[in-house]
């Protein structure tokens, strides 16, 4: 009787298995359950029913059934293997590993068990062990397509892209309709920069399996990297339609939104990815990047640290923590992060670049150049790094090499507006450049980046009353302790509150006591760090700004593409880098008749609004007192230049050497933060020695506090202005400390700034028109120490008495210009319509 029962159950089991293999799952389930009704512990019936339950997604039921199969007969390796698959699907990888290893102990030649063990080890980030398991599966079954795919996958995750590509190709050769293998191949080819091949691989995967959500998501990433953002968005949304709970797809959509400037939508997507997969380091890292762009540095640090907790060797997160520290001014902490990231991956170009940026900010040009060079070894075509290298080369006095670096950056990425601005900035230091050539390059920038945005210009609904209170907005990344802040502080702190309201739009995450001072003075304060130009445009329009003032032009942190959208009726540029923008959208440029003579106004895209001096100045109250003339004590004259090293050309050094050779007792002090770098000290000393001036006559000083910087003028009798780019705020600082400046007025705006300042102060006799006159002027002024002492004693009061140095006077003049500009706009025929 027992044999008859067993025979009957086996017949039912075989019928169920036949239905199962044919895909008739309901029929198979019914037959398996008939067997179990008679023999509840039947190992094979429990096994097959467990496999079926897994197939329909009921993994918890499957695990229970398969555990019963194992308890009934623990000698069958397939039972352990199937149990491992169910446990893995339930998110219990440790238990799954135990089951797969037991299957292998029972049958060491079980290729599926080795393959499955590899997948669970891969899931547990044990990539080396996973690779060994896949290799063993392939030794046992060389034509095992799934194992080839998995081996390729683990190689991809380990960064072995060429090996991974070969393994995906082998999987496809064995299984030509293997959509997952095509998808994996596409990912590898994308990492290798083979974008056309990668696109074909993704398209083939989707041709084979149109509802393959992961392939849609990966294809979206490729389209995003290729700049085809509309197509990328379509692919991303299709991936989410197919699988709305795929964290990776939400993360990819967030990256796309970020590129499109939709910061709110990007943040929502990253947070959705994290909600679906809390241990997803890339999503935490991306959220951190977004928070940095929004100026939320502390929150960003939390996101980056979470990413690092999840994946301790995540060098991208380490690099990004360094960026936050640098933004906070914690430069040493930033360097430590970059070094730690590079210890994990010495070829990590981004960390080399960021370390270079930090060295550049510290004035250590030699080390900055080394970092950028290493970054370019890893990624020779990185346009941002090339342009940054150009800035360093300019600082080292290698103008032609710097120009080549910027031009190379632009050839690699013609859309890099910052690199083009850097090239424009460089031209201010070019002795061959004229006002005409400098402004022509600015107009090229306008044509390439700004003019296309004119299609976004919209009418302004501002109240047309010519006499009402006007709202003036200022846009800058320098509302902090920065030399530029001393030029525009009077307009922000001393404005006429009966006739004007002032709003600041800050584009810097770094705040300090100057930030707080300015914030407390103005009507409204807005943070536009990370805001898209479209969002900032909407904010300015909502604030009903009448006159919007750019304080950066083509210097770092500018928002010229925001101005290109014409968010305010009247737009003005000046002060921070008041050399013109070239924008059609910029209506006015503040200047003066010395820096921009009337016969040169036609070179500028902007209409020139004349002030007594293009740069106003408000010195802090806590400056040191003026020291006595040092020549009276020393018995010789000490010349000095405290400008940034980028301004001190070799031509300047050569002429200064001539002055010293003509005055054998004279000394020279050069002070710049870059002189903390021994290479730069040697460069300056060697150049002077080459010109015949010994080191004993030369003092080189590096970075100090602002107060110490100002006090150092106590050792200087006469300042020597560099050329072709003269001083700006540095000129005012010297004059404030009682030190007059010998300057050479040249053929371009940057070479006339000091001449404009001294003319505004009644010091025209300190301005030379050529090199010979500069030399004679320096010698003649140095020969009369009594006159120097008298001038030194009254110079600070002379600065205060001038319009440029009197905050009340200069602010009143600026506001008169604003009222005039507003009324001119009202008379425009298009406005009247």
Would you give the distance in Å from CA 104 to the centre of its chain? 51
Q: Name 476's bridge partners.
A: 506
Residue 568 contacts residue 540 (beta carbons within 8 Å)? yes
What is the C-alpha separation between 356 and 351, in angstroms, rounded? 8
CA distance linking residue 831 with residue 80, whole number of Å: 81
What is the CB neighbour count within 10 angstroms for residue 297? 19
Per the CB < 8 A criterion, the answer to whether 723 and 744 are in contact is yes
Q: Which fold has domain 630-804?
A: Rossmann fold (3.40.50)
158 vs 162, 252, 314, 318, 389, CA distance in Å? 11, 21, 13, 19, 31
Quickly tell me which residue has 């070799």 as its tokens: 650
What does the pLDDT read at residue 152? 94
In angstroms, the CA 666 to CA 782 distance is: 9
Gap between the Cα atoms of 560 and 135, Å rounded: 56
Query: What was the pLDDT predicted at 1?
Result: 34
* 732 within 8 A of 799, measured Cβ to Cβ: yes
Q: Per-residue DSSP letters for 222-269?
A: HHHHTT-HHHHHHHHHHHHHH-TT-HHHHHHHHHHHHHTT-HHHHHHH
The pTM of this model reads 0.80
pLDDT of residue 363: 85
> Helix, strand, or coil here: 527?
strand
Q: Same fold for the domain at 457-610 and the one at 630-804?
A: yes
According to DSSP, the β-strands at 718-720 and 638-641 are parallel
Domain-wise residue ranges, the chain: 1-141, 457-610, 630-804
Residue with tokens 């995450």: 509
Report residues of the chain scoring pLDDT below 50.
Answer: 1-5
Contact 212, 205 (CB under 8 A): yes
550's CB contacts (< 8 A; 6+ apart) are 475, 558, 559, 560, 563, 571, 572, 573, 574, 576, 581, 586
CATH of 457-610, one of 3.40.50.11380, 3.40.50.1370, 3.40.50.2300, 3.30.750.24: 3.40.50.11380
User: CA angle 653-659-664, nearest 5°?
Assistant: 120
- Fold annotation for 1-141: 1.25.40
Query: From the CB of residue 767, how many other CB atoms can be counted at a distance below 10 Å?
Result: 23
Q: What pLDDT score does 654 carry?
A: 97
Tens-digit pLDDT profile for residues 258-297: 888 788 899 999 999 999 999 999 999 999 999 988 878 8
829: helix, strand or coil: helix
Nearest to 696 by CA among 732, 664, 667: 667
Predicted pLDDT of residue 120: 92
Alpha carbons 434 and 428: distance in angstroms, whole number:
9
Peptide bond into 724 cis (omega under 30): yes
Looking up tokens 């360097």, which residue turns up? Answer: 335
Residue 105 is encoded by which pair of tokens? 């102990």
Tokens of residue 53, six digits? 């339950």
> Rounded distance, CA 407 to CA 386, Å?
9
**Cα-based distances in Å from 725 to 295, 304, 325, 432, 664:** 33, 42, 32, 12, 27
* DSSP for 673-724, written as a single string: GGGGSHHHHHHHHHHHHHTT--GGGEEEE----HHHHHHGGGG-SEEE--SS
Report pLDDT for 271: 97
* Cα 542–Cα 544–Cα 547 angle in degrees, nearest 5: 135
Residue 780: φ, ψ to 5°: -65, -45
Say how far apart CA 315 and CA 345 lie, in whole Å: 7
For 448-554, where are the alpha helices, taking DSSP H only? 485-493, 513-521, 533-542
pLDDT at 4: 47
Question: Measured between alpha carbons, how far is 145 from 115 in angstroms, rounded to an integer?
Answer: 11
Q: Of 348, 347, 353, nearest to 334 (Cα)?
A: 353
pLDDT on residue 334: 96
165 — phi, psi (to 5°)?
A: -60, -45
Q: Which residues contact 439 (CB under 8 A, 6 or more apart)?
A: 580, 582, 603, 604, 605
């Amino acid at each position: 009787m027992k044999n008859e029962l067993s025979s009957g159950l086996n017949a039912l089991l075989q019928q169920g298995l036949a239905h199962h293999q044919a895909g008739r799952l309901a029929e198979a389930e019914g037959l398996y359950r008939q067997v179990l009704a008679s023999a509840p512990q039947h190992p094979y019936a429990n096994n097959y029913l467990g496999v079926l339950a897994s197939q329909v997604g009921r993994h918890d039921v499957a695990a229970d059934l398969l555990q019963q199969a194992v308890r009934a007969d623990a000698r069958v390796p397939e039972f352990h293997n199937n149990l491992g698959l169910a446990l893995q699907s339930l998110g219990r990888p440790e238990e799954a590993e135990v089951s797969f290893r037991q299957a292998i102990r029972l049958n060491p030649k079980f290729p599926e068990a080795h393959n499955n063990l590899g997948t669970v080890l891969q899931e547990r980030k044990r990539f080396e062990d996973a690779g060994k398991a896949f290799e063993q599966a392939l030794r046992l079954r060389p034509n095992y397509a799934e194992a080839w795919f998995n081996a390729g996958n683990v190689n991809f995750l380990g960064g072995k892209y060429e090996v991974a590509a070969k393994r995906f190709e082998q999987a496809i050769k064995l299984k030509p309709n293997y959509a997952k293998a095509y998808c994996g191949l596409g990912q590898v080819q994308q990492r290798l920069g083979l974008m056309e091949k990668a696109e074909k691989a993704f398209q083939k995967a989707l041709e084979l399996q149109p509802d393959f959500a992961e392939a849609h998501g990966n294809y979206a990433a490729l389209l995003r990297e290729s700049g085809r953002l509309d197509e990328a968005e379509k692919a991303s949304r299709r991936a989410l339609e197919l699988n709305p709970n795929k964290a990776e797809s939400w993360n990819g959509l967030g990256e796309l939104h970020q590129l499109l400037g939709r910061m709110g939508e990007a943040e929502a997507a990253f947070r959705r990815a994290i909600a679906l997969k809390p241990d997803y380091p890339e999503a935490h890292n991306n959220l951190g990047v977004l928070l940095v762009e929004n100026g939320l540095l502390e929150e960003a640090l939390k996101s980056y640290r979470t990413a690092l907790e999840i994946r301790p060797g995540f060098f991208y997160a380490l690099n990004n923590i360094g960026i936050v520290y640098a933004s906070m001014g914690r430069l040493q902490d930033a360097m430590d992060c970059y070094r730690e990231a590079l210890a994990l991956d010495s070829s990590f170009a981004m960390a080399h670049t960021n370390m270079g940026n930090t060295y550049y900010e510290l004035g250590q040009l030699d080390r900055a150049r080394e970092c950028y060079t290493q970054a370019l070894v890893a990624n020779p075509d990185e346009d941002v790094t090339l342009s940054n290298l150009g800035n360093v080369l300019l600082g080292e006095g290698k103008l032609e090499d710097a120009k080549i670096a910027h031009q190379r950056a632009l050839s690699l990425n013609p859309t890099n507006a910052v690199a083009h601005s850097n090239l424009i900035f460089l031209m201010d230091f070019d002795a061959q450049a004229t006002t005409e050539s400098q402004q022509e390059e600015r107009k090229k920038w306008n044509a390439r980046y700004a003019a296309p945005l004119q299609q976004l210009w919209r009418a302004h609904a501002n109240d047309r009353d010519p006499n009402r209170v006007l709202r003036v907005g200022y846009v800058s990344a320098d509302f902090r302790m920065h030399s530029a802040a001393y030029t525009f502080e009077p307009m922000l702190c001393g404005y006429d509150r009966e006739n004007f309201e002032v709003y600041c739009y800050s584009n810097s995450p770094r705040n300090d006591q100057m930030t707080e001072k300015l914030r407390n003075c103005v009507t409204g304060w807005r943070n536009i760090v990370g805001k898209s130009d479209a969002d900032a445009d909407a904010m300015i329009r909502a604030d009903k700004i009448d006159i919007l003032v750019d304080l950066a032009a083509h210097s770092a942190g500018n928002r010229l593409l925001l101005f290109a959208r014409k968010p305010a009726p009247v737009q003005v540029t000046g002060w921070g880098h008041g050399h013109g923008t070239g924008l059609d959208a910029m209506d006015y440029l503040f200047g003066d008749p010395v820096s921009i003579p009337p016969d040169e106004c036609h070179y500028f895209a902007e209409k020139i609004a004349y002030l007594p001096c293009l740069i106003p100045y408000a010195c802090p109250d806590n400056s040191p007192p003026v020291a006595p003339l040092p020549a009276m004590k020393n018995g010789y004259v000490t010349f000095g230049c405290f400008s940034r090293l980028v301004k001190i050309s070799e031509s300047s050094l050569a002429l200064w050497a001539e002055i010293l050779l003509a005055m054998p007792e004279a000394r020279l002090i050069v002070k710049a933060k870059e002189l903390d770098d021994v290479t730069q000290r040697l460069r300056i000393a060697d150049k002077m020695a080459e010109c015949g001036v010994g080191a004993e006559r030369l003092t080189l000083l590096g970075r100090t506090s602002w107060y110490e910087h100002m006090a150092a003028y106590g050792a200087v009798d006469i300042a020597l202005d560099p050329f072709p780019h003269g001083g700006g705020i540095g000129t005012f600082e010297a004059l404030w400390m009682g030190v007059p400046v010998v300057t050479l007025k040249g053929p371009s705006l940057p070479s006339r700034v000091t001449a404009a300042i001294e003319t505004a102060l009644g010091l025209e006799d300190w301005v030379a028109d050529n090199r010979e006159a500069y030399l004679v002027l320096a010698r003649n002024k140095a020969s009369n120490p009594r006159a120097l002492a008298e001038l030194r004693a009254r110079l600070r009061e002379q600065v205060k008495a001038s319009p440029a140095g009197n905050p009340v006077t200069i602010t009143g003049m600026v506001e008169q210009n604003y009222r005039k500009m507003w009324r001119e706009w009202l008379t425009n025929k298009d406005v009247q319509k």
